C-alpha cells in the first residue's frame, strides 16, 4: 500500500483531500499544527485505519525528517500555509516562514529521501492584476501581496529543484475555493462561507460594491480530486496549473441562487467596495485538462446547495 504525506491535513482543503485519498485505498499521514486547521475536520478521516494524524509544524524540518525516516512516501501534498492575505501584510516574516521557507524545506526532504512527487498549493493570487482574462499559466505573474509573493517564490524554488534534481513538482493555482468546513470567522474569509453562515442565521449579507464583480468559484470537492489525482496518478509534468472551472459568476448571480435556498432571509445590503478588491477573476482550466483530463464537475448551483444544506461528517470513508 502506498503512503502519502499531506501537510495542512486538518484544514479546509486538506481534510477533503485526505478523505479523497483514503477512498482510493492508500495510506495517509496527515500533518497539521492546528494553527488554523481544526481537529474536527478530521473526524471522517479518523474512521479509516489507514489514516494517521501527526501534530507538527510542516516547517519544522527536524519533526518532518522523522516522518520521512519512518515512512517511504510515494508523494507529498503540501497544503500547510498562512492562508489569510491580510495577515500576510501584518506578519510578513511569518508569511515568509510558513508560505515559502516551509515549502523549500519540504522539497529538500523529498530530495533527501527520494520522494519523487511534490504537489504544492499555490494560488490564483500570484496573477495579481493581469491585463487580460482568463488567467493563463503563461501570463507574467504580478503578486500584489506578501502572500502572493511567497506563493510565487515557492513555485520558483520547487520548479528550480525540478529542473536541477528531477523532482516532480506540481504547483496548483487554486482559484476561489468554496465548500463545507471553510471558516467564516473573519471578514476576509471566503465570501461564500460568510454568506452561508449569515443566511443560516437569518442575517442579511453585505455586498462590497455593486455585486457585479465576478469570481471563478470551484468546489472544494473538485479541488480535492485534482490534488489527489495529480498526487496518485502521476504523469503530470512539473509546472504550474490553474485549478478552476473557467466560468465567471457574479455576486449578484450568487445571491439569486441563495434566494431560492433561503427564501425568507432579509435582502442583501450593499456597501462600499473593498480597497484593493479585484473586479474580475477567471482562470483558464485548459492546461490541467490537457495534461490530466481534469474537469471541474460540480455545477455551481449544486455546490452552493451542498454548502447551504450539507451536514458535515456525512460521508463515509471506504478504505
Ligand atoms: C481573496 C484572496 C484569495 C483567497 C480568497 C478567499 C487575493 C488576491 N485573493 O480573494 O487568495 O484567500 O480571498 O477565498 O487577495 N465580499 C462581499 N461581502 C463579504 C465578503 C466578500 O461582498 O462579506 C466580496 C469581496 O469584496 C470580493 C468578493 O466578495 O469582491 C470575493 O471575496 P473573497 O474574499 O471571497 O475572495 P477574493 O477573490 O477577494
CATH number at residue 192: 3.90.25.10
65: domain CATH number is 3.40.50.720
> What pLDDT was estimated at residue 312?
55
172 and 151 belong to one structural domain: yes
Regarding the beta carbon of 114 and ligand 1, being less than 6 Å apart is answered: no
63 and 24 belong to one structural domain: yes
Atom of ligand 1 nearest to the CA of 84: 12
Indicate the pTM of the whole model: 0.95
How many domains does the chain contain in total? 2
107 and 227 belong to one structural domain: yes
221 and 210 belong to one structural domain: no
Regarding the beta carbon of 123 and ligand 1, being less than 6 Å apart is answered: yes
Mean pLDDT of the chain: 94
Smallest CA separation from ligand 1 atom 29, residue: 191
* 269-319 pLDDT tens trace: 999 999 888 899 999 999 999 999 999 999 999 999 999 987 654 443 332
Which long-range contacts does 88-97 make (Cβ < 8 Å, 24+ apart)? 88/145, 88/146, 88/147, 88/150, 89/145, 89/146, 92/146, 95/146, 95/147, 95/150, 96/146, 96/150, 97/59
**Contact between 44 and 65 (Cβ < 8 Å):** no
Residue 319 domain flag: no
Whole-number Å distance between alpha carbons of 156 and 293: 25
- Does the pLDDT value for residue 131 go beyond 80? no
User: How many angstroms does the Cα of residue 317 sit away from the middle of ligand 1?
Assistant: 32
Whole-number Å distance between alpha carbons of 134 and 140: 13
* 225-246 pLDDT tens trace: 999 999 999 889 999 999 999 9
The mean pLDDT value for 115-119 works out to 97
Phi, then psi, of 63 in degrees rounded to 5? -65, -40
Whole-number Å distance between alpha carbons of 234 and 137: 20
Give the range of the structural domain holding residue 198, as residue numbers without chain letter.
179-214+248-281+302-308
* 18-62 pLDDT tens trace: 999 999 999 999 999 999 999 999 999 999 999 999 999 999 999
Regarding the beta carbon of 213 and ligand 1, being less than 6 Å apart is answered: yes
Regarding the beta carbon of 207 and ligand 1, being less than 6 Å apart is answered: yes
Burial profile 268-283: b = 16 or more Cβ within 10 angstroms, e = fewer: beeeeeeeeebeebbb
Residue 45 domain flag: yes
CA dihedral 24, 161, 115, 35 (to 10 degrees): -70
Percent of the chain with pLDDT over 70: 97
189 and 124 belong to one structural domain: no
Would you call 165 a catalytic residue per the annotation? Answer: no
User: How many angstroms does the Cα of residue 113 sit away from the middle of ligand 1?
Assistant: 38
Pairing state of beta strands 249-250 and 214-215? Answer: antiparallel
Residue 61 domain flag: yes
Residue 317 domain flag: no
153 and 273 belong to one structural domain: no
Nearest to 17 by CA among 84, 74, 76: 76
Regarding the beta carbon of 277 and ligand 1, being less than 6 Å apart is answered: yes
Residue 313 domain flag: no
252 and 232 belong to one structural domain: no
47 and 96 belong to one structural domain: yes
The mean pLDDT value for 147-164 works out to 98
Residue 318 domain flag: no
Cα 247 versus chain centre, distance: 18
Segment among 127-141, 148-162, 216-230 with least mean pLDDT: 127-141
Using most ligand atoms within 8 A of CB, pick from 84, 176, 195 the residue to mutate for ligand 1: 176
Q: For the chain, list the strands marked E by DSSP.
A: 3-7, 27-32, 51-55, 73-78, 117-123, 168-174, 176-178, 206-208, 214-215, 217-219, 239-243, 249-250, 269-271
101 and 209 belong to one structural domain: no
Report how far apart, in Å, the C-alpha atoms of 125 and of each of 145, 175, 185 are.
Answer: 8, 8, 21
Amino acid at each position: 500500500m502506498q503512503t502519502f504525506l499531506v501537510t495542512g491535513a486538518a484544514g479546509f482543503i486538506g481534510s477533503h483531500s485526505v478523505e479523497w485519498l483514503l477512498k482510493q485505498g492508500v495510506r495517509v499521514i496527515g500533518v497539521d499544527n492546528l494553527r488554523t486547521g481544526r481537529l474536527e475536520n478530521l473526524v471522517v478521516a479518523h474512521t479509516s485505519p489507514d489514516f494517521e494524524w501527526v501534530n507538527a509544524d510542516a516547517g519544522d524540518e527536524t519533526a518532518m525528517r522523522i516522518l520521512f525516516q519512518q515512512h517511504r512516501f510515494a508523494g507529498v501534498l503540501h497544503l500547510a500555509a498562512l492562508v489569510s492575505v491580510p495577515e500576510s501584510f501584518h506578519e510578513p516574516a511569518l508569511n515568509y516562514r510558513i508560505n515559502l521557507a516551509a515549502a523549500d524545506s519540504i522539497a529538500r526532504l523529498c530530495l533527501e529521501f527520494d520522494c519523487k512527487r511534490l504537489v504544492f498549493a499555490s494560488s490564483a493570487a500570484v496573477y495579481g492584476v493581469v491585463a487580460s482574462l482568463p488567467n493563463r499559466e503563461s501570463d507574467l505573474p504580478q503578486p500584489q501581496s506578501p502572500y502572493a509573493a511567497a506563493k510565487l517564490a515557492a513555485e520558483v524554488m520547487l520548479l528550480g529543484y525540478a529542473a536541477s534534481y528531477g523532482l516532480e513538482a506540481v504547483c496548483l493555482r487554486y482559484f476561489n475555493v468554496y465548500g463545507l468546513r471553510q471558516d467564516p470567522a473573519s471578514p476576509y474569509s471566503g465570501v461564500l462561507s460568510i454568506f452561508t453562515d449569515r443566511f443560516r442565521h437569518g442575517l442579511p449579507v453585505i455586498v462590497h460594491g455593486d455585486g457585479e464583480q465576478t469570481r471563478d468559484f470551484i468546489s472544494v470537492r473538485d479541488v480535492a480530486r485534482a490534488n489527489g489525482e495529480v498526487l496518485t496518478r502521476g504523469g503530470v509534468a512539473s509546472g504550474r496549473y490553474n485549478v478552476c472551472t473557467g466560468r465567471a459568476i457574479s455576486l449578484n448571480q450568487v445571491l439569486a441562487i441563495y434566494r431560492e435556498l433561503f427564501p425568507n432571509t432579509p435582502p442583501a445590503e450593499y456597501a462600499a467596495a473593498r480597497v484593493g478588491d479585484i473586479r474580475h477573476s477567471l482562470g483558464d482550466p485548459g492546461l490541467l485538462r490537457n495534461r490530466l483530463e481534469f474537469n471541474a464537475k460540480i455545477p455551481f448551483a449544486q455546490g452552493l446547495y451542498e454548502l447551504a444544506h450539507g451536514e458535515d461528517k456525512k460521508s463515509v470513508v471506504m478504505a
